[in-house]
Amino acid sequence: MSVLSPILTPPEVKEYLTKGERFIKWDDDTTNASPVILRVDPKGFYLYWTFQSKEMDFLDITSIRDTRVGKFAKIPKSQKLREVFNLDFPDNNFLLKTLTVVSGPDMVDLTFHNFVSYKENVGKSWAEDILAIARNPFTCNACRYSFLEKILVRLKLQLNADGKIPVR
């Protein structure tokens, strides 16, 4: 191999991403905020969160366009959520806890997934590492076997309470 040609490595998924962190997920559409555990699968294919009801929702890492923290993250517009997060108090450290994951098939049709952590500065490290995985050249340009592994990981994430793949 030549010195000039770069050696590409698969994305590194850090241990704290696979263990997960507690966040509060909120939506602009509704006034609901629900506690979730946010995780990345060990292979780095999916970002997924588990609600308290054991219901799971996930997002393909390749569809992530941006991650935002601090003043660049979305702030709730509904008065009920603003009261829940105490946004009207001047000494509030809400911006240090925010994380917004922007995803979509293209740069026009975007979806915003908004999270608030329980601790300060957790969202910043999550945003950096998730975006590093999403921007890795191997994430979108992998071999066929990696895409088969991706399908297998998705099937394993969707198992029901009996440990079986749900058929709809």
- CATH number, position 146: 2.30.29.240
In a domain, 11, yes or no: no
Neighbours of 99 (CB within 10 A): 26
In a domain, 137, yes or no: yes
Lowest mean pLDDT among 37-46, 81-90, 144-153, 159-168: 81-90
Amino acid at 86: N
In a domain, 165, yes or no: no
Say how far apart CA 150 and CA 81 lie, in whole Å. 36
pLDDT of residue 5: 67
Residues 27-79 have pLDDT tens digits of: 877 778 899 999 999 999 999 999 998 888 989 999 999 999 988 888 887 77
4 — pLDDT class (breaks 50, 70, 90): low
Say how far apart CA 113 and CA 26 lie, in whole Å. 8
Say how far apart CA 98 and CA 45 lie, in whole Å. 23
Higher-scoring residue by pLDDT: 161, 106: 106
Torsion of CA 140, 144, 150, 156, to 10 degrees: 180
pTM of the predicted protein model = 0.85
In a domain, 8, yes or no: no
* Domain span at 38: 16-157
Lowest mean pLDDT among 3-12, 116-125, 155-164: 3-12
Number of domains in the chain: 1
Q: Spell out where the chain has E strands.
A: 21-26, 33-40, 46-51, 56-60, 64-69, 98-103, 111-117
Residues 86-109 have pLDDT tens digits of: 776 766 777 888 899 999 998 889
In a domain, 3, yes or no: no
In a domain, 37, yes or no: yes
In a domain, 113, yes or no: yes
pLDDT exceeds 60 at position 1: no
